[in-house]
Amino acid sequence: MTHQRTWDLLERRASGRVEETMAALVKARNQVQELADSQTRLGQMIGEYNRRLSVLQQNAHSIGQVGIYQNYIDQVETLCRRLAATQQVAERQVLAAVEAHREAETERARMEYLAQAETQRALTRAQRQDQRAMDAIAIARHQVRQP
């Protein structure tokens, strides 16, 4: 395998890694957004059940009904706390994905630079070889012309 093909392969691998990390980053961000949306919906549910509880308490009611509403509100609040903890984990995953993507981009740029440098070195080597061949031809012609 030539040097250029090797560098091209390494550059393609680095680009593939960039795409993988970008997909992971998008997935992590979507998860954070879904968790935030769920948190919002649960907050609305708590508000609605608190409103229903206050209406129930204003009217004639049984203690059992109030207990049911309060128990349900407590369960939803517990779910909100769990969801908040899960969201914090997801946000840390986003940060890790951002860092991994940044590192992959850096690696891709480095491979691209090294591939270009190898191409330039190969071009310089080819030019030197051509120049040496031209010099050898010129010396041979000069020697042939000499009596």
Residue pLDDT, tens place only, 66-113: 788 788 889 989 999 999 999 999 999 999 999 999 999 999 999 899
CATH of domain 3-145: 1.10.287.1700
* Residue 31 confidence (pLDDT) above 90: yes
What is the C-alpha to C-alpha distance for residues 122 and 44, in angstroms, rounded to an integer? Answer: 66
How far are the Cα atoms of 71, 89, 108 from residue 99, in angstroms, in the given order?
42, 15, 14
Find out whether 90 and 32 touch, Cβ atoms under 8 Å: yes
Mean pLDDT for the chain? Answer: 88
> For the whole model, what pTM was predicted?
0.72
Mean pLDDT of 10-34: 92
Q: What ranges do the domains of the chain cover? A: 3-145
DSSP string, 100-111: HHHHHHHHHHHH
